[in-house]
Amino acid sequence: MLTANASWLALSLLTGLCLGSVMNMVVYRLAATILRDEDDPAPALNFFWPPSHCPHCGSAIRWYDNIPVFSWLVLRGRCRDCGAPIGWRYLWLELSLGAWGLLCAWLLPPGLDWGAFMLFGAWLLALAWIDALHRLLPDLLTQSLLWLGLLWHLVSDRVALEDAVIGAAAGYLTLGLLYWLGRWRYGFEVLGRGDMKCLAALGAWLGWQALPPVLLLASLFTLAFALWHIVRRRAHRRSEFPFGPGLALAGLVFLCYPLLH
């Protein structure tokens, strides 16, 4: 484990905050693109156009209102032009990726592994938020995450490439089996197809050996999330709860776990 100097910690923190700003755009625009009604006359969003704007009044966001964390705090979570609220998600995603950047800098020196860890965290936190908000795990993120993991293991020896390939297949097939058993036994989907692809991506990054503890920890995270909502009367026992956030958090834990010893 590396004891990082202050400049490296600061640089990694800044990178994480900027990644959080980018991932906020991905969460909003990717979900809006997937859920868009084909008959909607409004122009379709993409990752590059239109420029950053308020979804309520359409006003372009000035560059000084687009600084991670700082701008949200200065504006007190509201649009400068129309006063509409800016969701807490924007702040939390930037802060969480900033914290992830600090952790990665503490554990790793500058280099390829640090970059891989940063991308892994950015992809997983974006997936967690999209699934929490929309019950979606988009193929664009899950499949690209899987291939990024396999490519990483071509040049890194943290996980043997054959273990990563087996992990990808085993992750998909494990939840795929639960998916089809649930449809056969109960007549409805007990898991989404995106959950299979997300676990396959985690298997590609962590290797097949990590899949059982990842599934256990993801289930515990999801159970805690469900109980919290039930206790606060925001849901009931028959409510559906997303599994993606639990998978994402478990993946982050098990990526870092070997470096903590």
Is residue 170's pLDDT more than 90?
Answer: yes
| Alpha helices for the chain (secondary structure H) | 6-35, 70-75, 88-107, 112-134, 139-155, 161-186, 193-206, 211-231, 244-256
Is 122 part of any domain?
A: no
Look at residue 254 and tell me if it is in a domain: yes
**Shared-domain flag, residues 68 and 160:** no
Instruction: Judge if 250 and 144 occupy the same domain.
Output: yes
- Asked if 178 and 63 sit in the same domain, the reply is no
Separation CA 117–CA 129 (nearest Å): 18
The predicted model gives 200-206 an average pLDDT of 96
Residue 127 lies in a domain: no
Give the model's pLDDT for residue 18: 94
In a domain, 120, yes or no: no
Task: Reply yes or no on whether the pLDDT at 172 is more than 90.
Answer: yes
Assess whether 149 and 260 both reside in one domain. Answer: yes
- 251 in the same domain as 144: yes
142 and 255 co-located in one domain: yes
Please tell me the predicted confidence (pLDDT) of residue 54. 79
Instruction: Convert 87-112 to b/e letters by CB count within 10 Å (16 or more is b).
Output: eeebbebbbbbbebbbbbbbbbeeee
Cis peptide, bond prior to residue 41, ω within 30 of zero:
no
Domain holding 213, by residue range, is 137-261
The residue with greater pLDDT, 12 or 240, is: 12
- The per-residue b/e assignment along 217-235, b for 16 or more CB within 10 angstroms, e otherwise, is bbeebbeebbeeeeeeeeb
Same domain, 239 and 185: yes
Q: Which of 32-46, 67-81, 156-170, 247-261 has the lowest mean pLDDT?
A: 32-46
> How many structural domains is the chain composed of?
2
Give the model's confidence band at 4: pLDDT under 50 very low, under 70 low, under 90 confident, else very high. Answer: low
Residue type, 214: V
231 with 157, same domain: the answer is yes
Q: What pLDDT does 199 receive?
A: 96
pLDDT(1) > 70 = no
Percent of the chain with pLDDT over 90: 56
Kindly state whether residue 129 falls inside one of the protein's structural domains.
no
106 shares a domain with 18: yes
Dump pLDDT digits (tens) for 218-252.
999 999 988 887 887 766 666 678 999 999 999 99
pLDDT in tens, 22-63: 999 999 889 888 887 665 655 566 666 777 777 777 788 887
In a domain, 132, yes or no: no
Mean pLDDT of all residues in 152-173: 92
In a domain, 12, yes or no: yes
Directed axis angle between helix 139-155 and helix 193-206, to 10°? 10
95 & 160 share domain: no
251 and 216 share a domain?
yes
Mean pLDDT along residues 195-201:
95
> Does 231 lie in the same domain as 161?
yes
